[in-house]
């Protein structure tokens, strides 16, 4: 299979996923949802990298563990379920507020998890980025309460 065929297949898959996201979560929230899903994939891959590196706090020996991986996937599915409930609340209220706030909360949460994985891998993390994401997380927690 040549590069052009792979590119076309990837474009088709991304287009189909984008259509499903827009249909389920509403066109207004589709862009945010795509960002969240990309971050979820990066976070999961980062978790695998941390475990391969032998530094995972989620397994007894710090290595790859299928139970920890399954727990991570279930957690990601739970995030999507919470956002679907938020979307239903928005439909009932007639205002697209709850979905976007929920997605933003999880975007910040996934971003912090990616930074945590980077730290476990020994990568330097810019202090300004760490401070900004932590402050955003605290602000979202205040609004959630």
CB atoms within 10 A of CB 73: 11
* pLDDT over 80 (residue 22): no
pLDDT at residue 128, rounded to an integer: 85
pLDDT at residue 144, rounded to an integer: 58
* pLDDT over 80 (residue 25): no
* pTM for this entry: 0.76
* pLDDT over 60 (residue 145): no
25: its two tokens: 């979560």
pLDDT at residue 29, rounded to an integer: 77
pLDDT at residue 43, rounded to an integer: 93
Burial of 72 from C-beta contacts in 10 A (0-12 / 13-18 / 19+): middle
pLDDT at residue 27, rounded to an integer: 63
49: its two tokens: 């990298």
pLDDT at residue 61, rounded to an integer: 80
- At 40-95, the pLDDT tens digits run 999 999 988 898 888 888 877 888 888 888 888 899 989 999 998 998 898 898 88
Name residue, tokens 């439909």: 91
pLDDT at residue 140, rounded to an integer: 66
Q: How would residue 143 be classed by pLDDT, with cut points 50, 70 and 90?
A: low
Residue 94 sits at φ, ψ, to 5 deg, of: 80, 10
Round to whole Å and give the CA distance between 110 and 28. 21
- At 86-142, the pLDDT tens digits run 988 988 988 878 888 999 999 988 998 898 888 888 888 888 887 877 777 777 667
């Amino acid at each position: 299979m040549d590069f052009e065929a792979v590119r076309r297949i990837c474009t088709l898959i991304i287009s189909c996923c984008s259509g499903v996201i827009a249909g389920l979560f509403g066109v207004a929230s589709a862009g945010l949802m795509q960002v969240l899903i990309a971050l979820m994939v990066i976070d999961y891959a980062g978790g695998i990298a941390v475990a391969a590196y032998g530094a995972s706090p989620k397994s007894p020996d710090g290595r790859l563990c299928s139970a920890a991986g399954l727990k991570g996937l279930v957690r990601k599915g739970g995030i999507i379920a919470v956002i679907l409930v938020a979307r239903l609340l928005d439909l009932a209220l007639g205002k697209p507020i709850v979905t976007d706030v929920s997605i933003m909360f999880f975007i910040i949460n996934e971003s912090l998890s990616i930074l945590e994985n980077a730290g476990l891998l020994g990568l330097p993390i810019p202090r300004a980025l760490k401070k900004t994401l932590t402050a955003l997380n605290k602000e979202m927690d205040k609004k959630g309460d």
